[in-house]
Amino acid sequence: MGDCTDTLGSGSTNTSIALGDRHSCALLTNGTMKCWGSNYYGQLGDGTYTDRTTPFCVTGGTQHSCAVLTNGTMKCWGRNNHGQLGDGTTSDSTTPVGVSGITTARSIALGDRHSCALLTDGTMKCWGSNANGQLGDGTTTDSTTPVGVSGITTARSIALGDRHSCALLTDGTMKCWGSNYYGQLGDGTTTDSTTPAGVLGITTATSIALDSRHSCALLTDGTMKCWGSNYYGQLGDGTTNDRSTPVGVLGITTARSIALGGTHSCALLTDGTMKCWGSNANGQLGDGTITDRSTSVVVSGITTVRSIALGDFHSCVLLTDGTITCWGWNGHGQLGDGTTTDSTTPVVVSGITNATSIALDSRHSCALLTNGTIKCWGSNADGQLGDGTTSDRSTLVVVSSITNATSIALGGYYSCITNATSIALGGWHSCALFTDGKMKCWGSNGSGQLGDGTTTDRSTPVVVLGITNATIFALGEGHSCVLLTDGTMKCWGSNYYGQLGDGTTNDRSTPVVVSGITIATSIALGDRHSCALLTNGTMKCWGSNYYGQLGDGSYVTVHPKPICRRHTQKIYQQILLLIHQQQRDLPPITRQVFNPPQIL
C-alpha cells in the first residue's frame, strides 16, 4: 500500500472521515484509507511507529485487525505474537499483510489471540494461538498461517469466544472446539478439544451465541438450549451446576426473542407472555420473590408484551396498549411507580398510555410517546432525565422542549433524543438536530459548548442560538460544530487550540463561522480538532496538531488547512474491518434491550 503520494495517483476522493483521540483517517472511494497523526502503536499502518503529519493510504487497527476484500482475500495487521495475522510470521505488522491461502472468504471472526475465516464453500480456516485447540486442526500448536478446521464443510455462521470457537452448520447442528473448562463446547466433557466436536442435542439451531464461559442456541421450535458456566442459574435448567452438554431452558417452548440483563435472562414468547431466570436479588425476574431462579418463571400479570428491555437489575415491558410495567430494583425510582421500593412483580408506570418504545439503563428509564415527546424517570444526578433538575424522580417527568422525537437511547448517566435527523454525544454534553434545521443541546457547558450564549450547565435542552439551517453536526470533547445547507460551517465551545476555526483561540458560547469552509459535505470532530470533507473530495482540518493529526505536514496548531488531494475510481465495494480489542464478536442474541431504538 505505501504512502499517499506513491500509490494513489490522481483522482481519488474521500467518502467519509473518522477521528481518533490522536490520529485521523479518511476512507476513499477505492476502498483504501489515508491516516495521519499519532503512530505510537503502529495504528497508522505505514510500516513504522513514527508519527505522521501527512496522510498516506492504509487500513489500520489497535491490537490486531483484519479486512475481507471484495475478491475474497484477506489482510490483517497489528499484534502477531501468536501468528494471528496469518502471514507466516510472528512479527507484529504495522501495515496490512495478506493472510496466506485465503482467497474465498465470506466472513471472519476474531478471538482473543486467534482468527477464523468462513469460506464461500462452507469450510473454515483458522490461525494464531492454539493453546486450547481453538484452531480446530487437531493440534495445540500455534499456526502463523491458516489451517483447515477439521470436519467443517457446511458452516452457515461462526462465532468465537476468547479461547473457543463454534460453527452453526446449514443443517442446524453445531460444532465447537477449543477451551472447555466450564463445558462450553457442549460435547459432554470438560476436556479441551483440538478438533470440532458436535454439540450434543443441537440439530435445529437458528442462531448461536457465545459468552466467555457459556454458549446458547435458539432453536427453530422456539426452545432454547444452553451449556457451560451456570453460577447464577443462567442456563435455566433447574440447577446451578455447570453443564458440558446443552440443557433446555425449562419452560421455554415458544420463544420469539430473548434478552440478557446483568445476571438475569428473559424470553418473550409468541403469545405475548414473558419468562425470566437467573439472579433475582432485587426481584428483577418479576415472579413475586427475591429468590434466584435456575428455571424460567412466568413474569406475573404480563400477557400482551410488545417488546422488552432489561437493565442490570430491573426489567420493563411495553405492552400492546401502549402502557409500560416495570419490576426489580427501584433505588432511584426507575420503576416509575412513585416509590423507591423494589418490586418483585410488575408495577404500572404512572402516566404512560401511548408509548411506542422504551429504553432502560441501570438507574433510569425512558419512554418515547406517540406524539414525539419523551418521559423519563429514575436517577437524575447528572440531569439525564432532562426535566431541568438533578433530582431523582419516581414518577414520570417530561423531557423539556422535546416534541418531535422518533427514537430514544440511554447511556449510563445520560439520555439522548433524536428526530428525523440525528443526535450526538460529546464528552459531557449532548445535542439533537431537528427537522426544521434547528438544534438543542444539554449537559456540561463550561466552555459554551451548548451554544446558548452562556457557560451554565443545562439539565434540559436549550436552543443553539442562530442555527436554523443545519444539515448535520458533530461534537468534540468540549466543542460543537454544524454543517449548514449552504456548505458553510459554524462551531462553538472550547477554542483553546483553535478548533472552532474562527481565527482565534477564544471560547465561544454562540456559533461562529468557520473561516474558509464554503463547500463542505461532511464533518467530524476529535477531542480538540475538527475536519471537513469538501465537495471536491479534499479535506480541511484545524485545531490541535500535537501529533500531526491535521495532516498539513507540521505539528503546528492551525486554522483550516487543505490535505491530500487525489482521485481514483472505486475498486472495493465493501471492507469489513474487525478491530480486535481482546473481545469476541457480539453474538446474534441481543443483549439487554429488545427491539432497541435506533442509536445514531
The enclosing domain of 353 has a CATH number of 2.130.10.30
Average pLDDT over residues 537-563: 74
* 293-to-289, 411, 527 alpha-carbon distances in Å: 10, 28, 46
DSSP string, 236-302: -SSS-S-EEEEEE-TT-SSEEEEEE-SSEEEEEETTS-EEEEE--TTSTT-SSS---EEEEEEPTT-
Give me the pLDDT at residue 55, please: 46
What digits encode the pLDDT tens for the residues 454-466? 998 876 678 899 9
CB atoms within 10 A of CB 456: 12
Same domain, 375 and 481: no
Half-sphere exposure of 34 (CA within 13 A, CB side): 30
Average pLDDT over residues 376-389: 71
Of 357, 390, 418, which one is at a domain's C-terminal end? 418
Q: 366: Cβ–Cβ under 8 A, 6 or more apart, which residues?
A: 358, 359, 374, 375, 376, 377, 399, 408, 410, 415
Same domain, 426 and 531: yes
Biggest CA pair distance of the chain: 69
Which range (15-24, 34-43, 178-187, 329-338) has the least confidence? 15-24
Give me the pLDDT at residue 557, please: 65
Contact 396, 377 (CB under 8 A): yes
What digits encode the pLDDT tens for the residues 411-432? 334 343 433 344 454 556 777 7
Same domain, 447 and 529: yes
Of 395, 418, 441, which one is at a domain's C-terminal end? 418
Residues comprising the chain, all counted: 600
Give me the pLDDT at residue 587, please: 32
Average pLDDT over residues 7-11: 31
Q: 270: Cβ–Cβ under 8 A, 6 or more apart, which residues?
A: 222, 254, 255, 256
Give the alpha-carbon dihedral of 49, 54, 55, 60, to 10 degrees: 20
Is residue 298 a part of any domain in this protein?
A: no
Query: From its phi and psi, is residue 128 left (phi > 0), alpha (psi between -120 and 50) or beta?
Result: left
Question: What cell numbers appear for 268 in the block?
Answer: 418473550
Average pLDDT over residues 562-570: 32
Contact 179, 165 (CB under 8 A): no
CB atoms within 10 A of CB 16: 13
Is residue 552 a part of any domain in this protein?
A: no
Paired with 490 in beta bridges are 482, 513
Q: What's the CA gap between 362 and 309, in Å, rounded?
A: 11
Same domain, 387 and 461: no
Give me the pLDDT at residue 370, please: 85
Q: What's the CA gap between 493 and 448, in Å, rounded?
A: 4
DSSP string, 71-125: TS-EEEEE--TTSTT-SS--S-EEEEEEPTT--SEEEEEE-SSEEEEEETTS-EE
- Please check the confidence at residue 27 and state whether its pLDDT lies above 70: no
What's the mean pLDDT when you consider all of the chain? 76
pLDDT band (50, 70, 90) for residue 235: confident
Q: Which helix (H) or strand (E) holds 529?
A: strand 529-534
Same domain, 352 and 409: yes
Boundaries of domain holding 317: 306-418
- Please check the confidence at residue 7 and state whether its pLDDT lies above 60: no
Give me the pLDDT at residue 364, please: 79
- Please check the confidence at residue 100 and state whether its pLDDT lies above 90: yes
- Please check the confidence at residue 190 and state whether its pLDDT lies above 80: yes
Same domain, 331 and 384: yes
Contact 486, 498 (CB under 8 A): no
Percentage of residues in the chain having pLDDT higher than 90: 39
Candidates 390, 398, 463, 388; CA nearest to 433 is: 463
Average pLDDT over residues 330-337: 94
Beta-strand relationship, 255-260 and 422-425: unpaired
Average pLDDT over residues 506-516: 94
Average pLDDT over residues 299-305: 93
DSSP string, 157-183: EEEE-SSEEEEEETTS-EEEEE--TTS
Is residue 489 a part of any domain in this protein?
A: yes
Average pLDDT over residues 54-81: 59
Is residue 354 a part of any domain in this protein?
A: yes
CB atoms within 10 A of CB 22: 20
- Please check the confidence at residue 194 and state whether its pLDDT lies above 60: yes
Paired with 397 in beta bridges are 376
Average pLDDT over residues 404-414: 43
- Please check the confidence at residue 143 and state whether its pLDDT lies above 60: yes
- Please check the confidence at residue 124 and state whether its pLDDT lies above 90: yes
Same domain, 395 and 483: no
pLDDT band (50, 70, 90) for residue 385: low
pLDDT band (50, 70, 90) for residue 72: confident
Give me the pLDDT at residue 297, please: 93
Of 511, 535, 559, which one is at a domain's C-terminal end? 535
Same domain, 529 and 425: yes
* Residue bearing the bigger pLDDT, 469 or 382: 469
What digits encode the pLDDT tens for the residues 341-368? 999 999 999 889 999 888 776 787 878 7
pLDDT band (50, 70, 90) for residue 552: confident
Query: How far from each other are the two terminal CA atoms of the chain, in whole angstroms?
Result: 32
Is residue 33 a part of any domain in this protein?
A: no
Average pLDDT over residues 91-104: 80
Same domain, 405 and 502: no
Q: What's the CA gap between 176 and 50, in Å, rounded?
A: 42
With vertex at residue 20, the alpha carbon angle to CA 15 and CA 25, rounded to the nearest 5 degrees, is 30
- Please check the confidence at residue 433 and state whether its pLDDT lies above 60: yes
CB burial string 362-389: b at 16+ within 10 A, e below: bbbbbbbbeeebbbbbbbbebbbbbbbe
Average pLDDT over residues 523-544: 87
Give me the pLDDT at residue 186, please: 94
Average pLDDT over residues 235-256: 91
Q: Which helix (H) or strand (E) holds 7?
A: helix 4-7
- Please check the confidence at residue 561 and state whether its pLDDT lies above 60: no
Contact 61, 94 (CB under 8 A): no
What are the backbone dihedrals phi and psi of residue 460, each rounded to the nearest 5 degrees, phi first? -130, 155
* Residue bearing the bigger pLDDT, 582 or 486: 486
* 326-to-270, 306, 329, 343, 377 alpha-carbon distances in Å: 20, 14, 9, 8, 12
Candidates 556, 555, 524; CA nearest to 540 is: 524
Same domain, 427 and 413: no
- Please check the confidence at residue 146 and state whether its pLDDT lies above 90: yes
Contact 106, 122 (CB under 8 A): no
Query: From its phi and psi, is residue 178 left (phi > 0), alpha (psi between -120 and 50) or beta?
Result: left
With vertex at residue 78, the alpha carbon angle to CA 11 and CA 98, rounded to the nearest 5 degrees, is 60
Is residue 333 a part of any domain in this protein?
A: yes
What are the backbone dihedrals phi and psi of residue 577, each rounded to the nearest 5 degrees, phi first? -110, 115
Domain count, the chain: 2
* DSSP letter, residue 399: P
Q: What's the CA gap between 61 and 47, in Å, rounded?
A: 13
Is residue 381 a part of any domain in this protein?
A: yes
Average pLDDT over residues 183-191: 94
- One-letter amino acid for residue 229 of the chain: S
- Please check the confidence at residue 34 and state whether its pLDDT lies above 80: no
Same domain, 310 and 412: yes
With vertex at residue 344, the alpha carbon angle to CA 380 and CA 355, rounded to the nearest 5 degrees, is 55
- One-letter amino acid for residue 504 of the chain: T
Which range (77-91, 268-282, 433-447, 451-465) has the least confidence? 433-447
* Residue bearing the bigger pLDDT, 592 or 344: 344
Is residue 241 a part of any domain in this protein?
A: no
- Please check the confidence at residue 1 and state whether its pLDDT lies above 60: no
Average pLDDT over residues 59-63: 34
Same domain, 391 and 470: no
Query: From its phi and psi, is residue 493 left (phi > 0), alpha (psi between -120 and 50) or beta?
Result: left
Q: What's the CA gap between 377 and 56, in Å, rounded?
A: 49
Candidates 234, 246, 343; CA nearest to 293 is: 234
Which range (162-166, 202-206, 396-400, 450-454) has the least confidence? 396-400
* Residue bearing the bigger pLDDT, 107 or 33: 107
